[in-house]
Amino acid sequence: SSGINAEWPLRPGLLHRTFGKISYKKESTYSIGSLGFRDNDCSRIDFTYCSVNSSELANDIEKQVSQFHSELRGSVNAGLTRNGTIALEFYEKKKARWPFAAEFFTWERWEIKVELVSATSTAEQQRRQEVIGSELAEKIFYVTQMINKSDYVPKTPDIANDIGNVYHTRYQDIHPYLFRIKHWLIDAPVNQSVGTSVRKLLNYT
C-alpha cells in the first residue's frame, strides 16, 4: 500500500464536512460561497475519487499522510511493525468561563487501519491493486452514507466572532469543520483488508 492510498478516506470525508467561505452580513445572517470540486487519480491503483478543490487543504492532508507513511516504512525497514492507524477527527470548541480554558469535544471520528505489504510478483501486485480499487469504491459509498446519517453536526454560529469555535478559519476559500489528523503505529496485525478497516468510531451528542 502506497502512502497516497491513505489520503482517499480523508479527502472524501472532508468533502462532506466543508463549506464554501461563510460571510456574515449581520447577526444571524450569513451567506455561504460556492465550493469547488476536483477528481483525484490514485497513483498506483485504478481509482478516482472526488475532493474539495483547495490546494491549502490538500497540502495539509498530504503532509500528515506523508509523515505517517514515512514512519510506517521506517518501522518496516527497521524490522518492526508494518501496521498503523490514521484518524480523522471533527471537533467543536466550547467556551468556558474564566479562569477555565476552552474545551474541545470530538463529535465525529474515523479511523483507517493500514498494513504496509510487499508483493512478491507483478501478478500479485496487479491482483492486490484490483482488489483494493474495488474495496475503495465500496467504502467511499459507505463513508458517504454514514456521514449523511450523522446524528449530530455543530450549528453555524450566529455571530462572526464565534465562527472559529466550529470551523477552521485559516483557509482562504473554504470553511471546513474543525478537524485534526492523528496517526500512530500499532504492534498487532490489522487482519483486515484496507477497505474493511475503515470505521466510524463515535458521534458526540
Q: What are phi and psi of 204, to 5 degrees?
A: -95, 130
Does residue 140 register a pLDDT over 90? Answer: no
- Contact between 19 and 174 (Cβ < 8 Å): yes
d(CA 64, CA 91): 18
d(CA 154, CA 92): 7
Does residue 158 register a pLDDT over 60? Answer: yes
CA-CA-CA-CA torsion sign (159, 164, 165, 171): positive
Name residues whose C-beta falls within 8 Å of residue 177's C-beta, 6 or more positions apart in sequence: 17, 18, 90, 153, 154, 166, 167, 168
- Residue 45 banded pLDDT, cuts 50, 70, 90: confident
Mean model confidence pLDDT for the chain:
82
pLDDT of amino acid 2 = 39
Of 60 and 13, more confident: 60
For the segment 43-56, the average pLDDT, to the nearest whole number, is 86
